Amino acid sequence: MKGRLDPRRIGLSLVAPVLALVFAAVIAVVVLVVSGYSPKSTITQMLDYSAQPRTQVLIINTATYYYLSAVAVAIGFKMNLFNIGVDGQYRLAALVAAAVGGNVALPGPVNIVLMILVAMAVGAMWSGIAGVLRAWRGVSEVISTIMLNAISTAIIAYLLRPGRLAVQTQGSNNIGTKPIPESGRVGGISLIPDAGMKVFGLIVVAVLVGVGYSVLLNRTVFGFDLRATGGSQTAAVASGVDVKRMLVVAMLLSGAVAGLVGMPQLIGQSYSYSLDFPTGLGFTGIAIALLGRNHPVGIAFGALLWAFLDQSSQILDLEGVPKEIVTIIQGATVLSVVIAYELVRRYRLVAEQRNVGKALGETAEPPAVTTGAPA
């Protein structure tokens, strides 16, 4: 147990994200100063704005779908699979689920469950294509999911037309799927008083997904095989793991979770898939999964941080500061967090070698830092 709860070890793994955040903040301050804005008032405005109850609800809601998206990406990461296609998977899944929910007249709860299952199935099917291509045809999942993203954009554009799946939204020139009936909606939870709006009811699903992800990875044979295959494919094969099957199953799971990404928004707020349904959440998920190191709790913090940056920056445009400063912070965070993890890893390697040296009573200094690198 010492390995897991060693305070030094925990400290070291916290150093990297903290360092990275500080570094990203420094970059943001420099950019603001150079372009003639006051960093102090910018930060104060963001903090003040995020202290309002309404903003806090928005932060939690945004974090909900960011979390789902990041877990979907993380499942792939655990297996060394890079599911860039979460974006296409959740949009297609949300569209089909919305169409089903709007057109099928089933009693409330059944309808909700049906929509969720349809979304998971569509997401899994879409990512499964990439999984099968990877397992049996050796096609890099990075490329195939990029292609599938583009294809799903085209399919959505095709389906989301009046006469196909879409109807004119009343009182605007937006079009969307037929609204989900009253009974098929999930009400919000009044988590924060005086906010004037509620937290997504489907935050429960996000929590369940997080718990499920954690249990799956750490408490099941499948999770063990998954991590083993991700760690070393040859070792996994030697211990009897069917790697091709694992590739496909991991991709299917990732896609199924990706299918859920649009659900809190769909069933909890917009009730229909329209032209202004949020896009690009899949790419955010990649960044957050990296930030949280694929750990279920780490991802939660990452999602909250990302949502905080996104929502609290909404005030900035009103104050004349381009709110894209936040995107710069986010990009810098991703880059610096991985660099920080690498530096910490190198430091830890040297330290471990030194400890081994000490314990054996031999050379106190490791022979060469550089030999530790091959991953």
Write the binding mask 324 to 363 for another protein: x where contact by CB under 8 A, - elsewhere.
Answer: xxxxxxxxx-xx--xx--xx--------------------
- For residue 296, the minimal CB distance to another protein (Å) is 20
**Cβ 96 vs Cβ 124: under 8 Å:** no
Between 35 and 220, name the residue whose CB sits nearer to another protein: 35
Nearer to another protein, 151 or 350 (CB): 151
Q: Which is nearer to another protein, 201 or 372 (CB)?
A: 372
Minimum CB separation of residue 163 from another protein in Å reads 11
Cα distances from 176 to residues 156, 159, 183, 270, 272, in angstroms, run: 11, 10, 19, 10, 6
Residues 19-48 that bind another protein (CB under 8 A): 31, 35
Q: Which two tokens stand for residue 80?
A: 């060394």
Window 106 to 135, contacts with another protein (CB under 8 A): 133
Window of 138-146, 186-194, 204-212, 251-259 that interacts with another protein by CB under 8 A: 138-146
In the chain, how long is the greatest CA-to-CA distance?
A: 80
Q: Between 111 and 336, name the residue whose CB sits nearer to another protein.
A: 336
What does the alpha-carbon distance between residue 336 and residue 178 come to, in Å, rounded to a whole number?
Answer: 44
Are the C-beta atoms of 300 and 294 separated by less than 8 Å? no
Of the candidates 348, 33, 190, 283, which has an alpha carbon nearest to the alpha carbon of residue 41?
33
Q: Which residues pair with 176 in a beta bridge?
A: 167, 274
Residue 295, C-beta contacts closer than 8 angstroms, at least 6 positions apart: none
Q: In this chain, which of 137, 163, 171, 360 binds another protein, going by CB under 8 A?
A: 137
Q: Are 260 and 123 in contact (CB under 8 A)?
A: yes
Tokens of 315: 């005030």
Q: Based on CB atoms, which residue is closest to another protein, 18 or 143?
A: 143
Q: Which is nearer to another protein, 254 or 330 (CB)?
A: 330
> Binding to another protein by residue 15, rule CB under 8 A?
no
Question: What would you report as the CA-atom Rg of the chain, rounded to the nearest whole angstrom?
Answer: 23
φ/ψ region of 80 (left if φ > 0, alpha if ψ in -120 to 50, else beta) reads left
For residue 15, the surrounding DSSP H or E stretch is helix 7-34
CA separation, residue 345 to residues 238, 254, 352, 374 (Å): 27, 27, 10, 12
Binding region for another protein (CB under 8 A) out of 5-13, 201-209, 258-266, 284-292:
284-292
Main-chain dihedrals φ then ψ at residue 50, nearest 5 degrees: -75, -15
Closer residue to another protein in complex, CB, 55/284: 284
State in angstroms the smallest separation of the CB of 375 from another protein: 5
Report, in Å, the least distance between residue 110 CB and another protein.
33
Minimum separation from the CB atom of position 244 to another protein (A): 15
Q: Sketch the per residue contact string, 146 through 185, with another protein: x for CB under 8 A, - otherwise.
A: xxx-xx-xxx-xx--x------------------------
Which of 117, 139, 344, 349 lies at the binding interface for another protein (CB under 8 A)?
Answer: 139
Q: Which of residues 51-90 bind another protein (CB under 8 A)?
A: 82
Q: State the minimum distance, in angstroms, from the CB of residue 346 to another protein.
A: 9
Pick between residue 106 and residue 344 the one whose CB is nearest to another protein.
344
- Residue 199, strand partner residues: 189
CA-CA-CA-CA torsion sign (290, 291, 294, 299): negative
Distance in Å, CB of 42 to another protein, minimum? 12
Determine contact, residues 247/226, Cβ cutoff 8 Å: no
Using CB under 8 A, list all residues that contact another protein: 31, 35, 82, 133, 137-140, 142-144, 146-148, 150-151, 153-155, 157-158, 161, 283, 286-287, 290, 322, 324-332, 334-335, 338-339, 342-343, 368, 370-371, 373-375
